[in-house]
Structure 1
Amino acid sequence: YFPYFITVAALLVVYVLLILWLVFNQRLLPAIVMIGAFMLFILWMVGLVVVAIELFGPSGSVQGNCNIAVFSQNPTGQTLETLAWLQQRN
């Protein structure tokens, strides 16, 4: 989803430059600012939700990967693996 956020950032830069150009030409209207800001907010929110689903969703999530990595082993002794196993089990 990195290309998506790069595209949204590029649109934001273009939007800010357009706003500045309109300010310097004294043609800025409140509707342009509100509609543009709302559209960029929606694009950002969609990206945020998609990344959150990817990280914490049902398949391939961070929690699932940690469970697979920790519960597939049975460490003993005073090691970092034992600490990770105990932390994940709690």
Structure 2
Amino acid sequence: MELDQYISEIKAKLNSSLIVSSIDIVDERVLFDRGYFRARLTLVNQDFLEIAESFTLQDEQLVTLDYRYQLNLFKSGLVSRLVCCKFKQKGQG
């Protein structure tokens, strides 16, 4: 799989999701042997999810280097941040 093909698959999955009402692609790029994708999603219940992933190919296998997401819940006009998570591969800074 090529890196730009992976980005296309991510977008296709988001577009076909029943819980995503809108998608704003903030950034997407492929530079040499690395790719990056970041999007802001509005869910059908009006909650907001931001996702970001950097990835590469190693021995023709896709490897996630870094992944972040943040979910903001909107209830009764109040905003609360539920999750903010960061994942890094072992050995990555």
What is the TM-score with the length of structure 2 in the denominator? Answer: 0.26
Higher helix proportion (structure 1 or 2): 1
**Larger Cα-atom Rg:** 1
Higher strand proportion (structure 1 or 2): 2
What is the TM-score with the length of structure 1 in the denominator? Answer: 0.26
